[in-house]
């Protein structure tokens, strides 16, 4: 967020890393990882980190504002169809603008990963703002599978729409090898660039999977490189016990949000205001109310002859 009306300087250009974990969650959505813990883990592992919280950007912005870690401003969108996709932006201002215009007004108070808008609306809007779109864990179980049901499949198979997907997550540390291999083959069939991420929800998982660049790069270089073929790596093989432990904590957090009014108020906290969201006196975001920090820009009128 901005401080005293001025944005802190971005991480210095000479801050470089040889690899980046492209998919990490924080306590601002359904994980337990704090920003301080994430900074320490990134330094310890000599990694860059992209925070991709569910329908939330506070973690990504706060990590950027530390200026201590190479990071790409990002978030993981969960649409009306529960289709999930990653958005990576070149600048934090663009991430903020996208969030307050296209995500925040459509958050649901009982769900981390489900908005009231379709991905056919959300993805083109992100593309117009310069984002790269990634498809995470495409062969995960249940609704996280990109091919989950006929309704979703009909929208996805449109050639023009699939052209808006830039990246396929071919290594997710919570997916077994056979599912990650299917994701890699999907990237080959669709001729897409690849990414890798731990999908960490606990601090010990950060860096379990990552992109390796072969040389040290800064954030600007990494964003440019994402459109090319990149090496992916994982230092740890899939372990069911690790995924089961993480899944237990994530499920508990989702249930807590669904049942707890206090947790719901915290989840619906306005991005541009530290006052807790009160559904009795504030407009319901599910109605599509626009809560952007900045007023709408006046529409350009055609010159009348």
C-beta of residue 86 within 8 angstroms of C-beta of residue 167: yes
CA dist 266 and 279 (Å) reads 11
For residue 254, pLDDT over 70 is answered with no
| pLDDT on residue 190 | 85
pLDDT band at 3 (very low <50, low <70, confident <90, very high): very low
- Mean pLDDT of all residues in 174-192: 89
Give pLDDT tens digits for 57-94. Answer: 999 999 999 999 999 999 999 998 888 999 999 999 99
What was the pLDDT predicted at 147? 75
d(Cα 217, Cα 19) in Å, to the nearest integer? 8
- Quick: pLDDT tens for 272-288: 665 554 545 554 443 33
Q: What is the mean pLDDT of residues 266-270?
A: 69
Q: What's the pLDDT at 287?
A: 39
Which pLDDT tens digit goes with each residue over 32-63?
899 999 999 999 999 999 999 999 999 999 99
- Coil, strand, or helix at residue 169? strand
**How large is the greatest C-alpha to C-alpha distance in the chain, in angstroms?**
71
């007004």: which residue's tokens?
A: 105
State residue 113's pLDDT score: 85
Q: Going by CATH, does the domain composed of 17-287 fall within 3.40.50.300? A: no
Question: What percent of the chain clears pLDDT 90, i.e. is strictly above it?
Answer: 49
CA distances from 134 to 116, 201, 274, 284 (A): 20, 19, 31, 30
The residues spanned by each domain of the chain are 17-287
pLDDT in tens, 131-167: 999 999 999 888 777 777 777 777 777 767 788 999 9
Spatial CB neighbours of 76, under 8 Å, sequence gap ≥ 6 = 23, 25, 52, 53, 54, 55, 84, 85, 86, 87, 113, 136
Express each pLDDT in 192-251 by its tens digit: 999 999 999 999 999 999 998 888 999 999 999 997 766 564 555 555 555 555 555 566
pLDDT on residue 4: 43
């Amino acid at each position: 967020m901005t401080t005293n009306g001025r944005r802190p300087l971005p991480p210095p250009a000479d801050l470089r890393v040889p690899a980046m974990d492209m998919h990490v969650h924080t306590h601002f959505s359904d994980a337990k990882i704090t920003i301080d813990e994430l900074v320490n883990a990134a330094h310890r592992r000599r990694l860059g980190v992209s925070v991709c919280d569910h329908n939330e950007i506070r973690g990504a912005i706060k990590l950027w504002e530390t200026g201590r870690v190479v990071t790409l401003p990002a978030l993981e969108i969960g649409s009306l169809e529960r289709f999930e996709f990653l958005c990576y932006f070149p600048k934090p201002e663009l991430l903020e603008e996208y969030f307050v215009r296209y995500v925040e007004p459509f958050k649901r108070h009982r769900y981390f990963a489900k908005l009231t808008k379709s991905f056919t609306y959300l993805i083109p809007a992100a593309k117009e703002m310069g984002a790269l779109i990634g498809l995470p864990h495409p062969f995960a179980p249940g609704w996280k599978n990109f091919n989950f049901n006929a309704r979703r499949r009909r929208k996805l198979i449109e050639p023009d729409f699939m052209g808006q997907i830039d990246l396929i997550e071919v290594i997710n540390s919570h997916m077994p090898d056979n599912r990650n291999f299917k994701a890699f083959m999907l990237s080959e069939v669709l001729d897409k660039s690849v990414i890798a991420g731990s999908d960490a929800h606990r601090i010990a998982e950060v860096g379990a999977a990552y992109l390796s660049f072969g040389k040290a790069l800064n954030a600007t270089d990494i964003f440019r490189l994402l459109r090319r073929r990149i090496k992916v790596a994982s230092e740890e093989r899939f372990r069911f016990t690790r995924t089961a432990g993480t899944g237990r904590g994530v499920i508990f957090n989702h249930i807590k949000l669904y049942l707890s009014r206090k947790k719901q108020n915290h989840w619906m906290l306005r991005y541009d205001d530290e006052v807790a969201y009160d559904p009795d006196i504030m407009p319901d975001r599910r109605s599509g109310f626009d809560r952007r920090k900045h007023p709408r820009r006046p529409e350009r009128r055609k010159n009348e002859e």
